[in-house]
Structure 1
């Protein structure tokens, strides 16, 4: 038993409908009375990673090639223990009585207590519990002579994200080489190489170039005032994205180029720079750099794994080995490509001309900067200057705010609302700066009260910067928290909220299910005492929509685990939120995804409305039942759900957030087993949904209806 065996862990859990956070207590790893709550791990990438058979095979091959003699193997970030078990087996630590048949040892280090508890179960299921020493600590907390008896000869690890460095690879390796490993250790992986490619793509431009979007919209709303093109921006960082999904929209402007190499077998530097001269392969405008990495897992160079997009062949300097070179041809969600956006509207390049790309990495990230002359660098630095009141938004949010169709729809709804009120008091119930600016601009007599639950004072600083360009003064803007708002307005019987509006959008709340954005409905309920009798609520209704879909890649990545490279992993299925092969008593979780990035997809049914949310009334339980008619034949892997927002009653303006829209994530409910649909025996299914306002959870049931012969 380790010193942490009887410890407790506190996990922060947030109620999506209230925004309130509470600390959930997770008992020590050896406490058999408490299991890990499903919600903690069901939305993580562990299951998807364990379902990546190509990744599993690559690690098994490399470990078998590396762990050939009795050694001390250290597994950092052990997760469910798969790599530790591979190393133990490779050394012959497989005696069924728990007695080592080798002088070697495996130490598994895992800091996340829920995963430690799960790994204990996996080890027990594979009769490996006595063969692997599991320590519930961060690797930089381990001490030789205290936690481990000696320095390790071999390091196995998989602390890699889509960018490579984001999970702390460099500081972890630095500490391991300084304190935990022998001199010149063996490692799996052996080396990682990052690559990049210059691309032109209108959609990628839209995800960071709001200046261009606003110019095209030309609707009088200026989210970016003149001279402040960076007031709303995406962060200077790489963003993980499934670039295969936009392959047909991408123009490749260069050949792939190597950026950095990281050797796991030696201590890495915290910071490096590289100047790259990239030759353009055609004329165009560089909107982004798409990047990926290639793992060499063993020192001999026989086993590789790539996260490159599917248009990238294996590198010319890597020998093709059909049994051990793993490309990213199979869709997986735990590792994607990365996108680095080029500032402004991009960089013009000419065929066969070189551009100078400066790359740098810190301990946790890689960045890029084009430099074609000293003057241009100064201009770039000017553009990238951070103004007061600057807000960083997600690329999808920037693309939405530059979408002329979305802006027109929202502005028409706002105009319709404010024309019905005289000197309205308008509450912006979410973090929408677009709504706050638009109402203040369009209604010269309105008083605007943004709640800004996520933005807070940063949102008010932004509104100050945008005020002159949008013809409003800050004396018409009042920022109050809900408690202050309630106490202030309840004490003033002649001052009530006339307009209660939301997009809805919550800052930093990008990975939630569609109905978890109904927080504004909860706010509307709590603020009911200070709403005027004829207050307009926008949106006024929400329609929960659904369709049946063919989702083979997503289903495969989330299906139940059985045996992985000879090890039973079935004990993790329920905790990790698996879908395929579940017992009838178990139910797979809803998961948020951009459906357009989920590999191969196909809509099999008509879109149907399951239930309606009436936002004009206080929040209450909702339920509905409907039949889904199949319009295509094929394998149904699950249902995709989203909310269409009815913005106003009069014009019935509807904002859809469905799977054909790229700006929003949808909710996915995968089936326990795929069902062949669309033939005359099975032409429809019945689905029933209920929404619980106490916890914001949606329950979905379905029954496939077969025609009687």
Structure 2
């Protein structure tokens, strides 16, 4: 075992890439890795209290699947509940595959497409098949699950399964000959992010015959110019900060890109923005990718777009349309619902059902226009350059007015750049949030002449704000996630915010424990956090309880009259009707004729034998939603005391008739109890994800006011796990 663990230590930073296999999802909290030399499989999980990654051994038995919902954080369940997708693939595979076919299924998942192909061979002229299906999947938990599904459907002797990426398959070694039909579904919301192009390139060169057939046949990306103040606020901190008169400059003039979002497309449920979006163009075609021929790694096109109204282009919203068959009669689209005809040439093939169901595995994508946006006039010709690499698509407007000051100062602040999520950029530009934080800071500093202040999270705002407000303070920023990047940032903006770095120190507590030597034997007067931990934005709200753990580790260093901000956290909840989300997470039964009931527990499905796990979602992007109760408190976390296990329960009184699908949960951070400064992360706040606890079965509320239920929560201080149950 020691040798095996040493092997793991050497490769711990290496994660299997997705060429030829579906990745768990960008939402996944855990990753899996195997070492074929040792025969072990490991899964990395994030410790909620430390933020550190920890590797744990998973059962080696390939034929066994964990009874725990270990794949609940992936997109597989949502994808398998997408009936239009499943129906489109089944119809196209039935048309394409014959009894003599050799089918290669890349990124097989549960084996659904492979089983469709094997069945299509038997259906061909109703005679037995002499074809074959080769399935490859690079994610071991899915390989184990797929084999279980194949056995349950009597397909295990008809499909050869390889635990490999497709670029690891060899003709003459793994498979006897090249395949003549390729089926795959390695697409993300942007289309290319799961390695579609390199996977197709390798398959074309090494695994497929010259004139192979493929399902899907083609994908086309489309876009539309939009104006939206909300989308602008998600990326332009510099211009939003101009409207805030608190004297703090997170992005000073000349350093506009020092805090920024990554220049990429961001997936988002754009239908949720509703009337907040003004359309400034008709939909336009951008790129076309043919699956039946070898794709290029790089492509460029110039698109001329006619503006349909006066306004400011804040973003490009894009989507794609999948043509699954060669004849062009079977389509699937990820277009927003305002697109009346998402099909090319306004076609109306019979197999397209119109408006697609809400699903979370494919959304639209948003590309932010630089700075304040691009002003346009009605009927103006807007020139846009589009570029794709082998994994992404980007845009640039060919207009002089689009060039912003960010471009001129890009190099001068390169070493100090911090890339944040769009939601974090919007929070830092929110006037109400900043004023509330500053009010709490001023109260905490009241009566402190030269306080020692520790910023216990990754908040650059708090570090700058305390240094700006209290000229005599000494500040230690822990920056557990930002580390040296945070230090360079504070140095870069010091002059514009009126502090010198001799008062500010960055000590990364992931590298070592803070001691009294670091404080020159002085006790801590002020311990504060938002809390915000870099890289944890997509996790459950109570991931912020890292703050409680750090406060506990520093307990012996705190002064008797220390002020702690936040002083407590309150776990809040609300009963919700979430029909779209529940449908996407419901237990699987028969999918296009194939039994999938055996995967429900592992995928964390609603209605399965195990409890539905709490998962992070932006409630406002979850399709149709409705509150069915008032907000209620389940339990409180007292940060004035060291970390401890705690529990709570609440009786939920339903105030509205409807169907309850579960509960939204979040934490309200009480910054200062005496002045009632509370930072809520509830569903009315768009910048934070909430936890969602779905019911095993929906509960119909006929008589509000006469119907109630009980919800309980338990926080385990040893593991950092918060469990929620309802009765």
**Is the shorter-chain TM-score for this pair beyond 0.5, marking a shared fold?**
yes
Name the SS of the counterpart of 2:253 in structure 1: coil
- Residue 325 in 1 paired to residue 352 in 2? yes
Task: Give 2:694's aligned residue.
Answer: 670
CA distance in 2 between counterparts of 1:435 and 1:487 reads: 19
What is the CA distance between 1:93 and its match in structure 2?
Answer: 8.4
1:268 paired residue number: 295
Does residue 25 (structure 1) correspond to residue 57 (structure 2)? The answer is yes
**Structure 1's 303 and 391: CA in aligned 2 closer, same or farther, altered over 3 A?**
same
Match of 2:616 in 1: 592
Secondary structure, in 3 states, of the residue corresponding to 1:518? helix
8 A Cα contact 2:254 2:409, kept in partner: no
SS of structure 2 residue aligned to 1:25: strand
Aligned to 2:103: 73
| Structure 2 residue aligned with 1:57 | 87
Is 1:46 matched up with 2:76?
Answer: yes
Residue equivalent to 2:27: none
> Which of 103, 116, 132 lines up with 1:86 in the alignment?
116
**Structure 1 residue 418: Cα displacement:** 1.0
Conservation of the 8 A alpha-carbon contact between 2:653 and 2:705:
no
Match of 2:190 among 163, 176, 180: 163
Matches within 5 A, 1:268-667: 268-315=295-342, 317-318=344-345, 320-321=347-348, 323-327=350-354, 329-373=356-400, 381-382=407-408, 387-482=414-509, 486=513, 488-489=515-516, 494-579=521-606, 581-583=607-609, 586-667=610-691
Q: Summarize deviations over 1:138-164 as a string: whole Å, max 9, x none.
A: 111110011111100000000000000
How many Å separate the matches in 1 of 2:404 and 2:682?
43
Return closer, same or farther for 1:46/1:360 CA change in 2, 3 Å cut-off: same
Gap change, CA 1:231 and 1:572, over 3 Å in 2: same
Contact 1:429-1:500 at 8 Å conserved across structures: yes
Distance in 2 between the 1:483 and 1:64 partners? Answer: 54
SS of match in other structure, 2:601 = coil
Deviates more, 1:657-666 or 1:7-16: 7-16
* Alignment partner, residue 259 of structure 2: 232
Paired residues of 2:657 and 2:704 also in contact (CA < 8 A): no
1:13 counterpart = 2:33: no
Q: Give distance in 2, aligned partners of 1:190 and 1:6.
A: 40
Deviates more, 1:675-684 or 1:548-557: 675-684
**Cα distance, 1:407 vs structure 2:** 0.5
What is the aligned partner in structure 2 of residue 193 from structure 1? 220
Q: Find the aligned partners of 1:147 and 1:46 in 2 and give their Cα distance.
A: 27
Q: Using the alignment, how far apart are the partners of 1:232 and 1:400 within structure 2?
A: 12
* SS of residue matched to 1:478: strand
**CA shift at 1:36, angstroms?**
3.4
Structure 1 residue 483, shift from structure 2 partner:
7.8
Once residues 395 and 109 of structure 2 are traced to their aligned partners in structure 1, the CA distance between those partners, rounded to angstroms, is: 32
- Counterparts of residues 189-268 of structure 1 (less than 5 Å): 189-268=216-295
In the alignment, the residues of structure 1 paired with residue 388 and residue 464 of structure 2 have an alpha-carbon distance, to the nearest angstrom, of 38
RMSD: 2.0
Residue 68 of structure 1: CA displacement? Answer: 2.7
Distance between the aligned counterparts of 1:445 and 1:484, measured in 2?
A: 28
Structure 1 residues 267 and 483, CA, compared in 2 at 3 Å: closer, same or farther? closer
CA apart distance, 1:377: 5.5
CA shift digits 1:366-413 (9 cap, x unpaired): 00000125x866967436556330111100001111110111111100
Matches of 1:647 and 1:517 in 2, distance apart?
14
| C-alpha separation in 2, matches of 1:550 and 1:562 | 23
User: Where do residues 140-159 of structure 1 align in structure 2 (5 Å cutoff)?
Assistant: 140-159=167-186
The answer for unaligned runs of 5 or more in structure 1 is: 95-99, 704-709
Q: 1:449–1:464: structure 2 CA closer, same or farther, 3 Å change rule?
A: same
**CA distance, structure 1, for counterparts of residue 158 and residue 511 of structure 2:** 59
Distance 2:510 2:623 in 1: 45
CA distance in 2, matches of 1:577, 1:436: 40
Q: Deviations over 1:52-76 (max 9, x none)?
A: 0010000000100111342100000
Distance in 2 of aligned mates of 1:681 and 1:230: 52
Q: Is contact 1:678–1:684 with CA below 8 Å preserved after alignment?
A: no
Change (3 A) 1:139 1:483: closer
Q: Secondary structure at the match of 1:291?
A: strand
| Secondary structure of 1:41's aligned partner | coil
SS of aligned partner of 2:475: strand
Match for residue 706 of structure 1?
Answer: none
In structure 2, the gaps of 5 or more residues are 1-34
Equivalent pair of 2:256/2:406 in contact (CA under 8 Å):
no
Quote the offset at 1:462 in angstroms.
0.6
Per-residue deviation, 1:10:
2.5
- Pick aligned residue for 1:679 from 703, 718, 723: 703
Any idea what the Cα deviations from partners look like across 1:268-289, whole Å, max 9, x if unmatched?
Answer: 0000100111110000000000
Q: Is the 8 A contact 1:4 1:136 kept in 2?
A: no
